[in-house]
Amino acid sequence: MTLWATLVQLSVLHILMAMIPGPNTVVVSYVSARVSRRAGLLAVGGVVLGSAIWVILSMFGVGLLLLEAGIVYRALRWLGAAYLIYVGIRMLRAGLRPAELQRPPQGARAPLIAGLITTLSNPKSAVFWTSVFVVVVPAHAPAWFYAAVVALIVFQSFAWYAFVALVLSTDIARRYYHRFAQWLDRLAGVIMIGFGLRLAYELHSEMTGR
């Protein structure tokens, strides 16, 4: 797989994760609806900053992990496959039950901080990105590739959450969004499970020599 194809794959993974309603969507929607559109966009800025921090920290971890070889690297890939499958199953389960908004965090008077803290308070983001990078990113990728990944994540995060802030301020828009989100949960779950199963199959083939 070429580096450009890898970027496309990361782009798809990220936008699917970003579009699934979670704490970030809740805080942006809450601030946009209860305070103002400007406050919602400030919350978006906090979410984008937090996402960039998690991605960069994950890259430093992946850089160290990719220096390892043999059984250690293979074990990490098995863990990555298991985690992707686990995430996919959770997405499927979420898509099969009625969507419920989480309790919005306090911080409407400081929306930028609210968005940042909400994103940084979810350590699963770091685990997810570390797993994805181990699975998808080739060893010895050039520096420009990692810079492109950060730029891509920042751009997509801003584009999606800004859309949420601009649109999810009316009751009808919020209702249709959450109805769509349940189907998105199911689709994303199937895709994530597929990624995990594909990696597991590749690792099994390597071990058996098939």
Whether pLDDT at 100 is above 60: no
Confirm whether 1 is domain-assigned: no
pLDDT class of 48 with cuts at 50, 70, 90: very high
User: Would the pTM count as exceeding 0.85?
Assistant: no
Give the pLDDT confidence score for residue 109 in this predicted structure: 62
pLDDT class of 140 with cuts at 50, 70, 90: confident
Q: Is 96 in a helix, a strand, or coil?
A: coil
Whether pLDDT at 141 is above 90: no
Confirm whether 2 is domain-assigned: no
Confirm whether 30 is domain-assigned: no
Confirm whether 50 is domain-assigned: yes
Please tell me which residue, 209 or 65, carries the higher pLDDT value.
209
For residue 127, give the nearest of 82, 191, 159 by alpha carbon: 82
Rounded distance between C-alpha atoms, residue 139 and residue 187, angstroms: 29
Q: Report the number of distinct structural domains present in the chain.
A: 1
Whether pLDDT at 101 is above 60: no
Give the pLDDT confidence score for residue 64 in this predicted structure: 54
Domain housing 139:
37-76+98-180
pLDDT class of 45 with cuts at 50, 70, 90: very high
> What token pair was written down for 141?
């990728």
Confirm whether 174 is domain-assigned: yes
pLDDT class of 104 with cuts at 50, 70, 90: very low
* C-alpha angle 128-130-136 in degrees, rounded to nearest 5: 95
Least reliable range by pLDDT among 19-23, 78-82, 120-124: 120-124
Half-sphere exposure of 100 (CA within 13 A, CB side): 7
> What token pair was written down for 183?
């189907």
Please tell me which residue, 191 or 152, carries the higher pLDDT value.
152
Confirm whether 119 is domain-assigned: yes
Cα separation values, 128 from 14, 103, 125, 199, Å: 10, 23, 5, 15
Confirm whether 89 is domain-assigned: no
Burial of 31 (0-12, 13-18, 19+ CB in 10 A): buried
Rounded distance between C-alpha atoms, residue 69 and residue 87, angstroms: 26
Rounded distance between C-alpha atoms, residue 64 and residue 138, angstroms: 13
pLDDT class of 162 with cuts at 50, 70, 90: very high
Average pLDDT, the chain: 75
